[in-house]
Amino acid sequence: MGVLLIGSGGREHALAYAFSRNQMASDIFCTPGNGGIAELATCLDLDVNDHMSVVDFCRNNSVELVVVGPELPLVDGLVDSLEAQGIKAFGPTKAAAQLEGSKAFTKQLCSKYNIPTADYEVFDEADVAYCYLNDCSYPVVIKADGLAAGKGVVIAHDHAQAQQAVQDCFDGRFGDAGTSIVIEEYLVGEEASFFAICDGESAMELPTAQDHKCAFDGDVGPNTGGMGAYSPAPVMSYEMRQRTMDEIIMPTLKGMKADGIPFKGVLFAGLMITSDGPKLIEYNVRFGDPECQVLIARLRSDLLPVMLASSDGKLDRMVNQFDDRPAITIVMASKGYPGAYESGSEIKGLEEAAKDPDIMIFHAGTKNEDGRILATGGRVLNITALGKTVSKARDKAYAAIEKIDWPQGFYRKDIGWRAVEREKETT
């Protein structure tokens, strides 16, 4: 069968890698793709905002399943347009993608169905929000309602910071995303990423992961899309996973169905594990990046039949198998990221670095120009390793990085530190 993958990041390279190991996928296409994906798939430039051009491509190339990597095309309703034309897609409809597209929507769903999350209020007017700030306790969290590329959240430690954050939103810093805001309670605990593939009714739990959002070692510096991840997240004990399914994921699926907007695709819950148990920080309606890379490194069964079953509403018949060994991924980014950075530098040594069968290198911002791999983005490579422990996987990944010759790049040296500390305590 033909598969069309939409996206260009490390997440999409990992997905293309999973598809390429599957006999079912005769043709893999990716738009726009990157230098690594181009080794596994036919990369092409489609305008994904023009839904009919995607439909036409699928019809002309016998594409039976479209897999949407990033959130924007989902929130824009690409899945609705494909399904209306009889083309299967993995991912939620526009209405269901509100779980990521509108924080107020998700908060209201949590209230209606008793899903544990931070206490909150939604505001459409700055003056009312300013009044609220006079009496709330600090720190407090201010969020633009809509998609803001991960930049719409401010943790305000005092009244002045909170007032500034509210003003920024209503002054249009995030465009339409900030015309409505959520102000919520600051949660204390350890964060974890939880994933479930859903078919509107049932959910298949995937392994957990933990991301590292800050740019620099010691969890300092500006927020990024994620500088590294590992799976599983030790904080997600059997009990915490069970509670997350029972208290968060299943009530969400039931609530969405009852409200007439069943959710299909990957439900990615950003959790805070508090002293009261798991609480939902936010939903994403797609795989995490770089979390997807560590999940795929551990995946031992085929992903395509599961994605088809999600689209068809028949997930209850499916199983997934994962390697028991942990996986880690270290992001190599262009110096300057998440701010301004230079493009076009050459990366050497990738083949040598990937020789160990436990190492997978997933590309993000790269292109292949006449056989040379050039950096073209902020996050550029994901050096991914499996190991008996997180510490061992981490050592392999950093040893592979030593073989990569790319002076214009940087990476965090402490990815996995929480799990490594825990492993030290138990040995």
Q: Is 100 in the site for ligand GLY (CB under 6 A)?
A: no
Could you say which of 270, 277, 305, 349 contacts ligand AMP (CB under 6 A)?
270
Indicate which of ligand GLY, ligand AMP, none lies near residue 156 (CB less than 5 to 8 Å, by partner kind): none
Q: Is 12 in the site for ligand GLY (CB under 6 A)?
A: no
Could you say which of 289, 350, 363, 411 contacts ligand GLY (CB under 6 A)?
289
| Sign of the CA dihedral with 59 first, then 63, 69, and 71 last | positive
Distance of closest approach, residue 272 Cβ to ligand AMP, in angstroms: 6
| Sign of the CA dihedral with 195 first, then 279, 192, and 212 last | positive
Output helix, strand, coil percentages for the chain, rounded to the nearest 5: 35, 30, 35
* Contact assessment for residue 68 and residue 51, using Cβ atoms and an 8 Å cutoff: no
Listed residue (94, 115, 54) closest to 285, CA to CA: 94
* Contact assessment for residue 377 and residue 365, using Cβ atoms and an 8 Å cutoff: yes
Could you say which of 39, 83, 121, 191 contacts ligand AMP (CB under 6 A)?
191
Please report which helix (H) or strand (E) contains residue 381, including its range. Answer: strand 379-386
Instruction: Tell me the sheet residues that pair with 379.
Output: 333
Q: Is 226 in the site for ligand GLY (CB under 6 A)?
A: yes
Judged by CB under 6 A, the stretch of 101-109, 168-176, 253-261, 282-290 that binds ligand GLY is: 282-290
Give CA–CA dist 20/39, Å, rounded. Answer: 10
Give CA separation, 19 vs 25, 132, 355, in Å.
Answer: 6, 50, 21
Could you say which of 184, 291, 302, 358 contacts ligand GLY (CB under 6 A)?
291
Indicate which of ligand AMP, ligand GLY, none lies near residue 291 (CB less than 5 to 8 Å, by partner kind): ligand GLY
Amino acid in the structure at residue 284 = N
Of residues 155 and 160, the one with the C-beta less far from ligand AMP: 155
Indicate which of ligand GLY, ligand AMP, none lies near residue 71 (CB less than 5 to 8 Å, by partner kind): none
Residues 36-75 that bind ligand AMP (CB under 6 A): none
Distance of closest approach, residue 104 Cβ to ligand AMP, in angstroms: 12
Judged by CB under 6 A, the stretch of 72-80, 158-166, 172-180, 283-291 that binds ligand GLY is: 283-291
Give CA–CA dist 72/198, Å, rounded. Answer: 19
Q: Is 215 in the site for ligand AMP (CB under 6 A)?
A: no
250-258 vs 103-113: helix crossing angle, rounded to 10: 100
Cis peptide before 290 (omega within 30 of 0): yes
Could you say which of 63, 187, 203, 253 contacts ligand AMP (CB under 6 A)?
187
Of residues 110 and 419, the one with the C-beta less far from ligand AMP: 110
Of residues 154 and 390, the one with the C-beta less far from ligand AMP: 154
Q: Is 284 in the site for ligand GLY (CB under 6 A)?
A: yes
Helix locations, 69-195, DSSP H: 71-75, 78-84, 98-101, 103-113, 126-135, 159-170
Amino acid in the structure at residue 279 = K
Q: What residues make contact with ligand AMP under the rule CB under 6 A?
A: 118, 141, 150, 153, 155, 184-187, 191, 213, 270, 281-282
Q: What residues make contact with ligand GLY under the rule CB under 6 A?
A: 211, 225-226, 284, 288-289, 291
